[in-house]
Amino acid sequence: MGQTSRMQPRSIRFAPGGYRFVPGRQFSGGVAAEPGFALRRVRFREPLPLAQGLAAARAIIAAAGRPPEALAACELRSPLPLPIAEFLAFNETYLAALRAQGFSAAPPYPIGRSNLAPILAPPAEVVLFAITFTVPAEGAGGADFFISGKPETSAAASFEEGIIGGADVSPAGLRVKAEYVMAELRARMAELGVEEGRVTGAQAYTIHPLEPSLEIVTGHMPLAWGGLTLVPAHPPVTGLAFEVDLRAISEEVVA
């Protein structure tokens, strides 16, 4: 969960999947379609338990004529936020579930991800809410991207020390958190070499009012026309209060 000092693209090309990615820990910071490819997002009408959902994802991707390596991002929903140690342990379970279906789950972990714990109708177990994968583009392609969920944490000596703004969830505190998160997301877009003006959607996860941070989240991106979704939810780790993911995707369907 790096700092905002990154200036030059440092993405890695994942040729088998038709995309490039920002390296992360246990999942990538985001992905962008390579030339000749676009991204397709499939949201499950009824989210499926993780293992079942990944099996369904494998079938969907195969039906589109794409290999398992085409899986570029997973969106999860969790029952509750977890302490950081338990969250990291869950990530190992998640990686094992990916491997069981033949998906890419080895360092440097190309697949992007978002994860949140909704407060309205929370699932009984971790479920797969949506997937994104590459497909051949009708035109030149190479413009779609998915930026993984980013909370208000930076690299620090300890997880608690890295929480930007600490426990302050006042309107002023939330603005501090939002400014950091959006700067990090823009840094990831720069690393991938993609244009923020192409954003087609974003999800903000917080149980706090979004209004104090709304202008910070939308910024100069074309989100004011209905592309921002507020999910009343906790980020996946206890102690965090604010997280956002972004996407620019050519095709979105509900299955």
Judge whether 97 lies within some domain: yes
CATH number at residue 72: 3.30.1330.40
Q: What is the pLDDT of residue 109?
A: 96
Q: What's the confidence (pLDDT) of residue 226?
A: 65
- Concatenated DSSP letters of 141-202: E---EEEEEEESB---SSTGGGBTTTT--SHHHHHHHHHHHHHHHHHHHHHHT--GGG--EE
Contact predicate 178/185, CB 8 Å:
no
Predicted confidence (pLDDT) at residue 27 exceeds the cutoff of 60: yes
Q: Is residue 7 part of a domain?
A: no
68 within a domain of the structure (yes/no): yes
- The range of the structural domain enclosing residue 62 comes to 12-254
In a domain, residue 6? The reply is no
Give residue 3's pLDDT: 37
pLDDT at 5 over 50: no
Percent of the chain past pLDDT 90, that is, above it, reads: 85
Q: What value does the mean pLDDT take over residues 97-125?
A: 97
218 phi/psi in degrees, rounded to 5: -75, -40
* Structural domain contains residue 4: no
Is residue 120 a part of any domain in this protein? yes
As a whole number, mean pLDDT of residues 213-235 equals 84
pLDDT higher than threshold 70 for residue 6: no
2 domain residue, yes or no: no
Sign of CA dihedral 63, 67, 72, 74: positive
Residue 134 lies in a domain: yes
pLDDT surpassing 50 at residue 105: yes
**pLDDT score recorded for residue 31:** 98
- pLDDT per position as a tens digit, 147-189: 999 999 997 768 889 999 999 999 999 999 999 999 999 999 9
Q: How many structural domains compose the chain?
A: 1
Q: Does residue 4 surpass a pLDDT of 50?
A: no
- Amino acid identity of 245? D
Per the prediction, the chain carries an average pLDDT of: 93
